[in-house]
Every structure is written in structure tokens, then in C-alpha cells.
Homo-oligomer: A and B are copies of this chain.
Amino acid sequence: MRLSAFAVKQITNYQFPNMSNIQASIITIGDELLIGQVIDTNSAWIAQRLNELGIDVCHRLAVGDTKDAIWDALDDELKRSSLLFITGGLGPTADDITKPLLCEYFEGKLVVNETVLEHVKAMFAKRSRPFLDRNMKQAEVPDNCTILFNRMGTAPGMWFEKDGKVIVSMPGVPFEMMAIMEDEVLHRLQQRFISDAIIHRSIITAGEGESFLAERIKDLEEALPSYIKLAYLPTYGAVRLRLTGRGADKIRLGKELQLRQEEIANRLENIVVSLEDLPMEHILGKCLVEKHATLGLAESCTGGLIAHYMTQAMGSTTYFNGSIVCYQEAVKEKTLGVKHQTLEDHGAVSEQTVIEMVQGAKELLGSDYTLAITGLLSGTPDAHNTEVGTVWIAVAHNERTLTKKFQLHYDRLRNKEMAVQMALLMLWRFINGKM
């Protein structure tokens, strides 16, 4: 999980104003959203999936657990959109009023569904919990909807149709919602609304700002046909380019997108990191797998966060050895053999220290590639007058060791996240002979 990126603007040409007139709204239900107890990650996830199908989200709305609020939201959004996604309000507790409300709104009645009942009973049995009478309610569904199977939980999703519009209701627990979308909703949407094929191609770049980058490929972007759009999606230190094409002939479209992708990638050759849309730690992981190489770390200021990222993917144990999180100076000395004199003379945040860290970690962990990082992320300058925001990174492989200094300008938590991204990117460049 990364820190949610802040709103970086300048998204160009993302939507397909002339290619799609399917407008969708997302309604999230729950008092916990209005009091700020829960951050709504569902809407962004749903919006991304819809976007991949070429469906535009025009409105996102959060309302409380009251009948009036939900009813009004349905009225309003059905005027606006032909596709409505509702999450939340389906659990077994008393304040979950969405299911009976939808039933009433679409003029159906609640009936026990035998398939759902069996599934709910099985879920209870699996978790060794007794199935009580009041749990029976969970197997009740409106008789005027299509049931969307929820393999991750007890509350099923529901698919209603009315006046040519589609309303999909799902539980608010993210992994349940995601399972229902993937198992039951996306292919139905494609069949129901999308006649054309939608294809995406990505180019991950790093090292150049968005506007400079846009300048370099201006002619290629302008030459794109109307059915291929280019989006710039900036994150920490990297810019993701996404080509999205839409057309009736899937094979032809695929070929053309690949051509455009290659054209742009060739132009940007020196800053292209990947042609696959993956986070940096996965790109690095794949790169280590290809080279049959292992990685070891020595982390001071990032406090284990690089290791956390590197172990997010299943199978990371094949290429990730471990990390020595040497937060205190004494630990740097004891575990990595950093010399006391070095720390005395140059401070913990210095080129000399980071070199001894990387060498110590290389020896201790025996990895093919080793990265060390030390920095001062917040507070006041240290005894060696190190400026706040200073970060030193060293990378090592065989006899080669390279160091680099970075200067960060944000608060502690953002500096930490930035430092991690700088480290991953530097490592990727080092491994690929690009520095």
C-alpha cells in the first residue's frame, strides 16, 4: 500500500468525449464515510475498472445510512447517468437499510434465495460460527434483480435494470466488492454496454517532468488518431503514460496501439523504465528474477519501508534476501561494521557512512545487488550540519559501488515515501546499466 498520491493535475485528453456516451455515477453509502472514519478507496477502484472499459464516471457521491438520503441519491443520479454503482449498506447490522430500500425502489419483494442461503451457511460453518435466525436475513434478496455471487462474504451483490438503465449494488468491504466486480460485473457490463474493444498500453518513465516529457513527444501525440488517447499519470519521481484505444476490430487496434507505444518508447528511450503498468517494486522484482539475482538492503531513514515494498509481491522470497534496518548508530556499527570513527567524523548521513553501510550489508547478506540508504527526514540539522531532507543512497554489485545524494523538501512522512521511490528507481537504473 502506498501513500495516496496527492492530486497531481494536468491529465490531458483522458476521456473519450466523442466516443462514449455512457455516463456512470458511484454512490457510496455509510455514516462512517461522512464522519471520516473510513477513507473511500472503493470509488477510485471502481472508476479505474470502468475507465478501462471506456465508461466515464461523471459523479461520485457519499451519503449517510438514512432512507431519505439514499432514495434522493438514486433519484438524482438516475437522471444523470445510465449506470449506477452503489457500495455499502448491505451488512447484517441494523443500520444497513440499503437492501430493503432498493427492493422497494424497484418495486420488488424480498425472498429467501436458496443458493445464497447455502453459501451463507457454508461461510458460517467455515468460520465456526453458529448460524442464527437473524442471519437468515442475509439470504433474502429482492425478487426483481440478478444476484451477483459474493465468494468473499455473505452479502450478495444485486443487478437491477430499469428503463434501460443498470443499477449495481455491492457490499462496502473492498475485497468483497472487488471479487463481485471481477467475477460478475465487468463481463456483464462489457456485454451490455460495450460493443467496441478497449485496449490499453503503458509506458512507465522516470527522470523527467511531465511537461518536458509532453514537449518531447508533442508531434507523436498530435498525430494520434481520434480513437487513441494518451494520458499522463504522474506519481513520485515517475510519469506513467497510458495509451487507450477503442475500436471494432480488436486485432487491428492491438497492432496499432503496439506501434504507437513503440514509437513513443523509442523517442523517450533514455527515460523508459517499463512497458508494463506495474508499481516500481514489481518492475524491480521482475528484473531481478530475469537476472537470477538477489537483493539485500541496509535501511536507516526509511526504517524498513523499502523492504516492506519489496516483500509485497508473492514469490519475493526468491529474489529478496532481507534488510538490516539499522536505525541507531550503534546498530550500524554492530551489524554492518560501520566504523565508529566514520560516524564521528562525517555523521550518520554522509557518503562515507552510506558506503560502509552498503559494504557491510553486502558482506552480511551476500546478495548480488545491495542498496543502503541513510538520511535526515525531519527535525533540525544534525551535529554535522546536515540539512533536513538530505538522503544518501549507495548501490553495490561485485566491485562496483555508486552513491548519490538527494535533497527532499516535504514533511517527514512524505520525505520517507519519496526516499523509498528514489531508492527503487536508482536501483533499477543501476541494475540496468543506466547510471
Contacts and interface: CB of A to CB of B under 8 A. Distances in A.
Nearest to A332: B322
Interface string A1-40: 1111111111100110000000000000011111111111
Nearest to A60: B62
Contacts of A51: 35-36
A43 B40 CA distance: 9
Task: Specify the main secondary structure of chain A where it touches its partner.
Answer: mixed
Contacts of A378: 314
A180 to B, nearest CB: 14
A321 B330 contact: yes
Given A7-B172, A35-B57, A88-B7, A311 B327 contact: yes
Contacts of A93: 9-10
Interface in A88-118: 88, 91, 93, 95-96
Contacts of A7: 30, 32-33, 38, 88, 172-173
Given A35-B48, A413-B1, A316 B322 contact: no
Contact of A410 (B36, B64, B175, B296): B175
Interface residues of A, number: 97
A34 B63 contact: no
23 contacts: A1-B3, A1-B4, A4-B39, A4-B41, A5-B37, A11-B35, A34-B47, A34-B57, A34-B58, A36-B49, A37-B44, A37-B233, A43-B62, A127-B409, A175-B411, A299-B304, A303-B312, A307-B327, A314-B412, A316-B327, A322-B325, A322-B335, A334-B366
